[in-house]
Amino acid sequence: MKFRFLLWMLGRLMGKASRTNLDFQQQLGDKDLTFQLHTLDGKVARHFIVKDQRITSKSGPAVEPAFSLGFKDAAYGYATMTAKNKQLAFMQGIQDKNIQIQGNPALVMWFQGLIKYLKPRKKK
């Protein structure tokens, strides 16, 4: 349940950032694609649609995603995406085959670059 909520919240945060954050919009550029995050058992899936410098998300698997990240199960996906050192957690998961990438790996790196724009801003 936590993983499902995390994916939903990620969609909300990226949607808001795509409307209000100019740096985030620049990262989206002219991309027109769909990607998904899911569990390998198929119990949890959410796809994200990038079009016209906006991101929307929908529950369930995508028809033809440009890339997908599959986690061995929901608990592992939640732990990986909330880890202090996300890059290390992802690399370890890929090595251990607990995370599977399908599609274009360069787009996975692009997606990970988007996440840094979703961190809360420090108050001045």
Residue 80 has a pLDDT of 92
* Domains defined for the chain, CATH in brackets: 2-70+101-118 (3.30.1050.10)
How many angstroms separate the CA atoms of 77 and 80, rounded? 5
Distance of CA 109 to the CA centre of its chain: 10
Output the six-digit token pair for 104.
């274009």
How many angstroms separate the CA atoms of 99 and 57, rounded? 21
How many angstroms separate the CA atoms of 101 and 48, rounded? 16
Going residue by residue through the chain (124 aa), what tens digit of pLDDT does each one get?
A: 899 999 999 999 999 999 999 999 998 988 999 999 999 998 999 999 999 999 999 999 999 999 999 999 999 999 999 998 888 999 999 999 999 999 998 998 898 888 888 876 656 6
